[in-house]
Amino acid sequence: MSRRAESSGGSIFELIVVVGFALGLALAIQAFLIKPYKIPSESMVPTLTVGQRVLVNRIGDRIGDPSIGDVLVFHPPSGAEDENACGVDPPARAPCPKPTRDQAAVTYIKRVVALPGDRIAIEEGHVIRNGRRAQESFARPCGPDDDCDFPTEITVPADHYFMMGDNRGGSDDSRYWGPVPRDWIIGGAFATYWPPGRVGLL
């Protein structure tokens, strides 16, 4: 075999190794570090629109606890995707205080509006947290026909997070199926990368 043939064979092998390594690295990054996510509904309008794509930081969520205002991707409780099932019968005119026992296979994206131990009520779509109305310039107000009043206060359980969409009149969220356990959170959305006109940090 000529040196040229040996060199050609070696180059092909090196190319296969490099491509395999790059593919493995890309899969590892998506599995453990950063994951792309496509917005499926209007629940986060005006912050995020249908079809927009975001990057989700998976490792950061394992290091620290979520904060008020974080936009998270997570598994909702089972029953959230088709019947808005609450884990208990809530008090009259109260948001759901407890989720169903198991997580759903689907993923949602919403914003953290209350932390473990916080007291929360909802008045005309506005968050009343620990007795004070939250400042939420990002939120789209409810319309006159929307179900947005949950004035009876509940307390968010330990290790749970109360999640709401920014489109307060068009979001199925913790108001209906309860706070989300910490273990069901996948990660925090930190940037948009599509469409080109809406690229930026969240």
Could you read off the pLDDT tens digit of each residue along the chain, which spans 202 residues? 554 445 555 577 565 645 544 444 444 444 446 889 999 999 999 999 999 999 998 765 555 789 999 999 999 999 998 888 999 999 999 999 999 999 999 999 999 999 999 999 999 999 999 999 999 999 999 988 898 999 999 999 999 999 999 999 999 999 999 999 999 999 999 999 989 888 888 8
- What's CA 84's distance to the chain center, in Å? 17
**Whether residue 1 is found in the same domain as residue 46:** no
**Closest by CA position to 179, among listed 146, 156, 148, 154:** 156
| Whether residue 176 sits in one domain with residue 147 | yes
Task: Judge if 151 and 179 occupy the same domain.
Answer: yes
Residues 77 and 146 both lie in one domain: yes
pTM of the model: 0.83
* The pLDDT of residue 61: 55
Are 10 and 92 in a shared domain?
no
Range of the domain at 27: 1-32
110 is catalytic: yes
Catalytic residue among 35, 78, 110, 171: 110
The two tokens of residue 199 are 């690229």
Q: Give the type of residue at 54.
A: V
In a shared domain, residues 8 and 57: no
Asked whether residue 56 falls in the same domain as residue 87, the answer is yes
Task: Answer positive or negative: Cα dihedral of 22, 25, 30, 31.
Answer: positive
Same domain, yes or no: 16 and 80: no
Q: How many domains does the chain have?
A: 2
Q: Is residue 61 located within the same domain as residue 81?
A: yes
CATH of the domain at 153: 2.10.109.10
Q: Which of 178, 180, 202 is nearest to 190 (CA)?
A: 202
Query: Catalytic site residue 67?
Result: no
- Say if residue 13 is in the same domain as residue 76: no
pLDDT value at residue 35: 86
| Same domain, yes or no: 40 and 5 | no
- pLDDT, residue 102, reads 96
19 and 58 share one domain: no
From the candidates 43, 78, 171, 174, which is the catalytic residue?
A: 43
**pLDDT attached to residue 108:** 97
